[in-house]
Amino acid sequence: MPNTTFREINQLVPNYVYGDAISNQAAEIQRYLVNSGYISNIYTCYPDKKRENHIAINKNNLPHGKPLLYHYSMGSPANKYALEHQGAKCFFYHNITPPSFIAPFDHELASRLQKGLDELGSFAAHFPVSAGDSAYNAEELRKNGFIEPEVLPIIINKPEKKIDDELFEQLHDGRINILFVGRIAPHKKQEDLIHFFSHYLNFESNARLIVVGKPESGNPYFLSLKKIIDQLKLNEKIFFTGAVSTEQLNSLYLSASLFVSMSEHEGFCAPLIEAMWRDIPVLAYKAAAVPETLGKAGVIFNDKSNLNELAALAHLIINDKELHNKIIDAQKRRRNDFLPEVVLKKLDDIIQKL
C-alpha cells in the first residue's frame, strides 16, 4: 500500500503532450496518487493545451522537500530542475532512440538524443531509486550506474468504446486493413512496412495499409516514404492519417485485420498492447523491448530478408481462423498484465523505497 510518511508526490515530465505514451503514464500515476490521498501535480517544460491538471515549471515553483518522480526521455531543460531538486526522488526511464537512426534525416534532433544518452549516467548518483518501463530499459539504467532499477511497465487501460461512426463505416468497405500506429520516425522503419505491404498485395490485392502517426511538417524521412510509395505506385493503397482523435484511433484499430510492426527500436511499444485490446493479431519484428512487451502473445519474426514469405505469413494469420483465434486467445491473456491494478502495485513498491 502507498507510503504514509509523506502526503505529496509530484511528477516532472519534459513534454506533457496529448496522445503521448509517457504523458499518459504520468496522468495515470497522478490519478492513482490523488485517489490514494496524495497531493500530486505534474510539472512540465512544454505543456499541451489539450492536457489538463499540469503546471508549467519555472525556477521557483517545483516544491523542494517533496518526493519527485522524474520521467526522462532525452536532453531537456527539465534535467536541471530534476538534478537540483531537494528531496526523495525517483528516475523513470522511457528509453532514448539511438541517434544513428535519426541523424541522416534530422541532425538537430539526433544531437539532442545524443545529449540525452550522454547525460543519462550523470543522474545515477542523484537518484537512488529508479525504474524503466521495461526490463530492457532497466538494464540500460544498470549499465549507466543506477543501482537495482525497478521495472514499471506502461499502463494500458481497456479502450473506450467511442468511435467515429463515419470513419468506421468508410473502413468497412470490404477491403483488408493492415495497421501500424506510431510516430513517423526512421527507427519505426515505415519504409520496411511499405515494402512488406507491396508483397502482401500479391496475396490480397484488395487491401490497404493505414499508418497512424503525425509527421513533422517537411520532415525529410516522411518525404522519403512518400517517394517510395510513388515509385511503387501505391498511392491508392497506403494512407497516412496524421494526428487522430481518440474516437478516430479506436475506429482505425477496430477496422484492422492485422497490426504489423517493422520497428527496430522500442523501449516498450504501447500500440502492441492497444492492438491486443481490440482483438487484432499482432505481427512484429524482434527488436529491443518488443519481445518482452509481447511475452507469449502475438507473432514475432527476426528476419526481414524475405518479405514475400512474411507477407504469406500475414495472409495466413488473417485467413486461417484456427491460427487467428489461437493468437487472439494468447493476446487476451497478455494484455491483462498492463492494467492499472497490476502495474500500480509495482508503483507502491517504488514509493515505499522513497
Instruction: Please check the confidence at residue 215 and state whether its pLDDT lies above 80.
Output: no
At residue 228 the predicted structure's pLDDT band, cuts being 50, 70 and 90, is very high
3-state secondary structure at position 30: helix
Give me the mean pLDDT over the 145-161 stretch: 95
Give the bridge partners for 72, in sequence order: 93
Same fold? 10-155+339-353, 165-336? yes
Domain ranges of the chain: 10-155+339-353, 165-336
- Using alpha carbons, select from 205, 204, 210 the residue that is nearest to residue 171: 210
Q: Which CATH architecture has domain 165-336?
A: 3-Layer(aba) Sandwich (3.40)
pLDDT at 160: 87
218 φ/ψ angles, rounded to the nearest 5 degrees: 70, 15
- Using alpha carbons, select from 99, 132, 139, 103 the residue that is nearest to residue 115: 99
- Do 36 and 2 form a contact (C-beta atoms < 8 A)? yes
pLDDT at 4: 54
- Using alpha carbons, select from 18, 21, 106, 100 the residue that is nearest to residue 54: 18
pLDDT at 184: 95
Instruction: Please check the confidence at residue 7 and state whether its pLDDT lies above 80.
Output: yes
Instruction: Please check the confidence at residue 211 and state whether its pLDDT lies above 80.
Output: yes
Instruction: Please check the confidence at residue 54 and state whether its pLDDT lies above 80.
Output: no
Angle between helices 307-319 and 321-335 (to 10 degrees): 90
Degrees to nearest 5, angle at CA 222 with 271 and 110:
80
Instruction: Please check the confidence at residue 192 and state whether its pLDDT lies above 60.
Output: yes
At residue 69 the predicted structure's pLDDT band, cuts being 50, 70 and 90, is very high
Grid cell of 190 as nine digits: 515505415
Beta carbons within 10 angstroms of residue 289's beta carbon: 22
Cβ contacts of 70 within 8 Å, gap of 6 or more: 11, 12, 78, 82, 85, 89, 90, 91, 92, 127
pTM: 0.94
At residue 216 the predicted structure's pLDDT band, cuts being 50, 70 and 90, is low
At residue 3 the predicted structure's pLDDT band, cuts being 50, 70 and 90, is low
pLDDT at 131: 98
Instruction: Please check the confidence at residue 59 and state whether its pLDDT lies above 70.
Output: no
CATH of domain 10-155+339-353: 3.40.50.2000
Which one has a higher pLDDT value, 282 or 216? 282
Instruction: Please check the confidence at residue 1 and state whether its pLDDT lies above 70.
Output: no
pLDDT at 50: 72
67 φ/ψ angles, rounded to the nearest 5 degrees: -55, 145
Q: How many CA atoms lie within 13 A of 105 on its CB side?
A: 18
- Do 200 and 194 form a contact (C-beta atoms < 8 A)? no
The string of pLDDT tens digits covering residues 254-310 is 999 999 999 999 999 999 999 999 999 999 999 999 999 999 999 999 999 999 999
Q: Is 349 exposed, middle or buried (0-12, 13-18, 19+ CB in 10 A)?
A: exposed
